[in-house]
Amino acid sequence: MWRYLKRVLIGKPLKTTDEGGQALSKFKALALLSSDALSSVAYGTEQITTILITLSMAALMYQIWVAALVLVLLAAITLSYQQIIHAYPSGGGAYVVASTNWGQGAGLVAGGSLLVDYMLTVAVSTTSATEAITSAIPALYSHQVLLSCLIVIGIMLLNLRGLRESASFLTLPVYLFIFMIIFMIIYGGYNILTGNIEYHASAGITAPVQGMTLVLFLRAFSSGSSSLTGVEAISNAVPNFKKPKSHNASATLAIMALILGIFFGGITYLSYYMGIVPNGHETVLSQIGEGVFGHGFLYYLLQLSTAMILAVAANTGFSAFPMLAYNMAKDKFLPHAYLDKGDRLGYSNGIISLAVGAVILILIFGGKTSSLIPLYAVGVFVPFTLSQSGMIIHWKRNKGKFWAGKATINFIGAFISVSLVICLFLLRFENVWPYLIVMPLLLRLFYKIHRHYKRVAEQLRVEETARSIAATHHYDGATVIVLVSGVTKVTAKAISYAQSIGDYVIAMHVSFDANPEKEHETAEEFKKEFPDVRFVDIHSSYRSIAQPTLRFCDVIAKRAEDRNYSTTVLVPQFVPRHPWENILHNQTSLRLRATLNSRQNIVIATYNYHLKE
């Protein structure tokens, strides 16, 4: 029943060789990876006006100047991440840049910040989508948390189906939103020029405002900069693009930044000109739409497109989080489960983890976007600072054409980003203090995981003295199949034990399409270490170990049974010293034993190697 339900929700498994067909064109990548950044205009201007209105109506004039500074930062960040895309085309974004140029600690701070930030991306996007829905349908206001959680689950299932299908699904809402916002800005500008929209701004752009301070301006700027979240997602997902990957990713980033700049500037100007005042029951964008279109069909279409893109904006997190988790797991700072691809060639464990984290955040903060925004901004601008300052080191080390100019762009972006981080901690500490608790805990977790993997590798490494074959006794005709994943101390001792109880030993390995060179190296290394043991490599196009193993064992067992011989399948596994450490390892041996237990003519045995550290 579970397998049937899984096929209905997710679809049939894809071969590893189909991965090229999952690569993204610029058109689909813009929908898949830019929805977070583009959708942030739905709440970016509102965050600015919410801060400024605490002083007076006249202070709303400063939203124009705040927006101008945000656009300067957008330009610097876009140019900087274009450089990162070309310099580090393997993906990983701020984590890889900071690790390479600042060191492991800085890389983990950037990576940990982004992991949490992507969870916040999903939470903020879905709660904002729910607010857009309740602005148009007030009867649903009391069900915001439930609606947000359902949206997260729906997008998770969509992403589990694979990149290509999720990108195809997202094309309509993203491009509908782009069309509606551009149309609203153009139509609103036309109405302003023709006098159909009256000037309601409470103060001129250059008018002095009594009581205005630099602190209040910086608070508004730090809140408005939330509109730049999601810009880094494309640099994390470069491997997902069609070839030439770096060129297509860079072009997509430029297109996204241009659209985002036009949207943010246009919406902020309309908000200022129309004298829009934020309130708790209707968003600023909704008020602008009502002022431009009236309360008719176009208004509801705008609200629908806004709700849809805010809902699918969470998809940016679902695209970037698994790739970041993959890079950190590859460096042994996250569980190796994040390295595994699912049936649809997506990193399913990362997708599911992100959804669970986002739902928890929505429940903790009660679905309130305003409570999530400051923490969201810190999670973005700490990696911005580390990546852009890291690129200055990169250019200084590697030089190249116009490296001084490129380093200057990175310096401007890094300076504004670090200023924003300082402002957020000084001026919004009541909202961002959890970062100072969560980040040390994450760093401790990363280092603990890394130490565990290092200790395991040291204990499993094959030594010359550990390869003695002690054949104490044999059972005539007994065939022993040893399931091996690589050449380790566990493998060596398991084969030694198999040769002591069996007359004929076969080492069976399952290889995938994902890394044929590595699989070939494993085969050559095994034959060198154990020349007297038959090595069989079974190829799996669907990244499944259990089914190829079962088919092979069935064939061997049938031949042995015809000759009245016994067949034993030996499953080697290492046992961590601490029970909690089991979650850091893929429980392949459990799945293999569960699969093989269905066969009556096969004896299942487990060789346990206990780790001492």
Q: Residue holding tokens 């903790």?
A: 364
Q: Output DSSP code: residue 598.
A: T
pLDDT at 357 exceeding the cut of 80: yes
Least confident of 107-111, 191-195, 248-252, 530-534: 530-534
Q: Rounded CA gap, 442 and 440, in Å? A: 5
pLDDT band at residue 446 under the 50/70/90 scheme? very high
Q: Output DSSP code: residue 18.
A: G
Q: Rounded CA gap, 544 and 224, in Å? A: 47
Least confident of 439-443, 506-510, 547-551, 559-563: 559-563
> pLDDT tens digit string along 543-596?
678 888 888 888 888 887 777 777 888 888 878 877 777 777 766 777 777 778
HEC string of 349-414?
HHHHHHHHHHHHHHHHCCCCHHHHHHHHHHHHHHHHHHHHHHHHHHHHHHCCCCHHHHHHHHHHHH
Q: Rounded CA gap, 415 and 126, in Å? A: 31
Q: Rounded CA gap, 560 and 74, in Å? A: 69
Which tokens go with 73? 């930062």
Question: Which pLDDT belongs to residue 1?
Answer: 55
Residue of higher predicted confidence among 198 and 140: 198
Alpha-carbon dihedral 233, 119, 170, 161, rounded to 10 degrees: 100
Break the chain down into helix, strand, coil percent, rounded to 5: 70, 5, 25
Q: Residue holding tokens 């649903």?
A: 140
Residue of higher predicted confidence among 509 and 373: 509
pLDDT band at residue 59 under the 50/70/90 scheme? confident
* Region of residue 482 (phi > 0: left; psi between -120 and 50: alpha; otherwise: beta): beta
pLDDT at 371 exceeding the cut of 50: yes
Question: Which pLDDT belongs to residue 344?
Answer: 55
Question: What global pTM score does this model have?
Answer: 0.70
Query: Among candidates 442, 412, 423, 411, which has minimal Cα distance to 378?
Result: 423
Question: Which pLDDT belongs to residue 345?
Answer: 57
Question: Which pLDDT belongs to residue 468?
Answer: 46
CA 479, 485, 491, 492 torsion-angle sign: positive
Q: Who contacts 215 (Cβ-Cβ below 8 Å, separation ≥6)? A: 427
> 10 Å Cβ neighbour count for 369?
26
> pLDDT tens digit string along 175-197?
999 999 999 999 999 999 998 88
Question: Is-contact 10 160, C-beta < 8 A?
Answer: yes
Q: Rounded CA gap, 447 and 455, in Å? A: 12
Type of residue at 154: G
Q: Who contacts 301 (Cβ-Cβ below 8 Å, separation ≥6)? A: 180
**Average pLDDT score, the chain:** 81
Residue of higher predicted confidence among 218 and 43: 218
HEC string of 52-75?
HCCCCCHHHHHHHHHHHHHHHHHH
HEC string of 186-234?
HHHHHHHHHCCCCCCCCCCCCCCCCCCCHHHHHHHHHHHHHHHCCCCHH
Q: Rounded CA gap, 355 and 318, in Å? A: 8
Residue of higher predicted confidence among 167 and 254: 254
556 Cα distance to chain centroid:
43
Question: Which pLDDT belongs to residue 529?
Answer: 82
pLDDT at 472 exceeding the cut of 50: no
pLDDT band at residue 441 under the 50/70/90 scheme? very high
Residue of higher predicted confidence among 576 and 8: 576
Q: Who contacts 515 (Cβ-Cβ below 8 Å, separation ≥6)? A: none
pLDDT at 465 exceeding the cut of 60: no
Which tokens go with 397? 């080390």
Q: Residue holding tokens 């301006």?
A: 217
Query: Among candidates 157, 162, 197, which has minimal Cα distance to 294?
Result: 197
Residue of higher predicted confidence among 602 and 230: 602
> pLDDT tens digit string along 259-313?
999 999 999 999 999 988 887 678 888 899 999 998 888 988 998 888 888 777 7
Least confident of 215-219, 466-470, 480-484, 518-522: 466-470
Question: Which pLDDT belongs to residue 20?
Answer: 47
Radius of gyration in angstroms for the set of CA atoms belonging to the chain, rounded to a whole number? 28
Question: Which pLDDT belongs to residue 522?
Answer: 79
Question: Is-contact 271 62, C-beta < 8 A?
Answer: no
Question: Which pLDDT belongs to residue 243?
Answer: 83
Query: Among candidates 254, 211, 213, which has minimal Cα distance to 231?
Result: 254
Question: Which pLDDT belongs to residue 33?
Answer: 80
Question: Which pLDDT belongs to residue 492?
Answer: 86
Which tokens go with 394? 């990169």
Question: Which pLDDT belongs to residue 467?
Answer: 46
Question: Which pLDDT belongs to residue 30?
Answer: 84
Q: Residue holding tokens 């330009």?
A: 75
Least confident of 18-32, 427-441, 465-479: 465-479
pLDDT at 2 exceeding the cut of 70: no
Question: Is-contact 160 348, C-beta < 8 A?
Answer: yes
DSSP codes of every residue in 469-516: -------TT-EEEEE-SSSSHHHHHHHHHHHHH-SEEEEEEEEESS-H
274 Cα distance to chain centroid:
38
Question: Which pLDDT belongs to residue 443?
Answer: 93
Q: Residue holding tokens 């309601």?
A: 200
Query: Among candidates 396, 389, 395, 466, which has minimal Cα distance to 421?
Result: 389
> 10 Å Cβ neighbour count for 76?
22
Question: Is-contact 347 341, C-beta < 8 A?
Answer: yes
φ/ψ (deg, to 5) at 201: -60, 135
